[in-house]
Amino acid sequence: MHGEVIRTERLSHSLIRVVLGGGGLADFAGSQFTDAYVNCLFLPDGSTLTVPWDDETARAAAAEHRPRPRRLSVRRWDADAGELTLDIVSHGDVGYCGRWAGRARPGDLLQLRGPAGGYAPHPDADEYLFVGDESALPAIAASAEAVTAGKRVRVFGLVEAPEDEIALQSPGDLDVVWVHRSAVADSAVNDRAVTALADAVASSGPPAGRLSAFVHGEAAESLAVVRVLARGGWCRPEMLSSSPYWRRGMDDEAWRGVKGDWVRAMREETQALFAAAR
């Protein structure tokens, strides 16, 4: 499956919207999940492959020419128009996703697989909490738009600076708090940056009723938020969706090699914290 770039738009200093369409998406199926994602296959510079290719051709190519898979959240799928919207974090020429998004022009092609996902705002929740960094903003934005009208919605977004903030909308009673990395010390040498998002969530106070929570983004930062929710008994375990998208100091390949162990350890700790808070 592949899409053709229809248009692009810069949403913020670090977030680029790419809208894909064309006949290559004819078999794309929408998802019930607001955190739906697709596996995008980015070609390294100089690759001998061209979109679309088949798996056999990719396997036969030299390692340096093979596609690099990256997961990207689906911001929106318009079945009537046949358009798939992806909001992609870009840091200039760093990383396959951002570099491709920054260079994308109408007519460019992108091969992908999916979608898959696992979260949608619980309809029986009294309020909703969405927490994450730039990598989670597309899923947060989609989730905020899908909540039950009139219910309380709290969003805590971690971005580099004010110019990285984006507009969010919701049929709920929306309250958005932005946390800026530029206002805290380097997380490599100071724990305050790792816990800045968690500190902001904690200071907002626990929910008044049943909470549906979505916490995704950088591994250590997400875990710090989950600890606040679990220790404080903010929500039931089954009402929490949390998974680390990336790990500071690791590229995607390195992170994929250790992510399974990290997630298992995170879940074990989280389960113990929820049990202790009962």
Q: What is the mean pLDDT of residues 97-108?
A: 93
The confidence score (pLDDT) of residue 159 equals 94
Digit-coded pLDDT (tens) for 228-239? 999 988 988 999
Side-chain-side CA neighbours of residue 182 (13 Å): 8
The confidence score (pLDDT) of residue 187 equals 47
The confidence score (pLDDT) of residue 229 equals 94
pLDDT at 92 over 80: no
Lowest pLDDT segment from 134-148, 182-196, 234-248 = 182-196
Rounded CA separation 153/62 (Å):
49
Task: Find, among 33, 53, 45, the residue nearest to 113 by Cα.
Answer: 53
Q: Residue 178: CB partners within 8 Å, gap ≥ 6?
A: 157, 158, 159, 162, 165
Q: Which amino acid is at 87?
A: D
Lowest pLDDT segment from 128-132, 184-188, 235-239 = 184-188
Give me the domains of the chain, ranges plus CATH numbers. Answer: 2-116 (2.40.30.10), 127-277 (3.40.50.80)
The confidence score (pLDDT) of residue 152 equals 96
User: Whole-prediction pTM value?
Assistant: 0.91
Quick one: tokens of 238? 């089954």
